[in-house]
Structure 1
Amino acid sequence: MSNITLFRLLLIAFLLNFWISADETDWDAGIHNTEKLSFQVETFVAGFDVPWGMAFMPDERMLV
């Protein structure tokens, strides 16, 4: 397989990965129920489109 063909296949796989994994879910503030657990979303600061970190609190809460 030539380098150009391999590059094209990798590029297509890379782009498909982003297209398939794109998630448009917009979690509004409030309590959300899933099959396994319930969680509450609270907005402290608005205007951030992409969370860049997570931290877990001692009481098992998560900060994003």
Structure 2
Amino acid sequence: MNLANHTFSVTGMTCAHCERAVTRAIKNIDPQAEITIDLTAGRVEVGSMQPRDTLAAAIVGEGYGVAP
């Protein structure tokens, strides 16, 4: 399976709960997604077959901001 890699600058993530919420939101739309989160940098890296916009919408849906 060829995963597309997406990097998002995410605002509002401050703790492990935030990390779990973002991970859960992405996994709900793509259970096979590979996710790496750097809370300090506010960066979320996702390997997924889903379109970038769909992944960003999942993150925003949890109440976090995604920079364009």
Q: Fold conserved (TM > 0.5)?
A: no
Q: Which has the higher helix share?
A: 2
- TM-score normalised to the size of structure 1? 0.24
Structure with the bigger RCO (C-alpha within 8 Å, sep 6+) is 2
- TM-score normalised to the size of structure 2? 0.23
Bigger Rg over Cα: 1
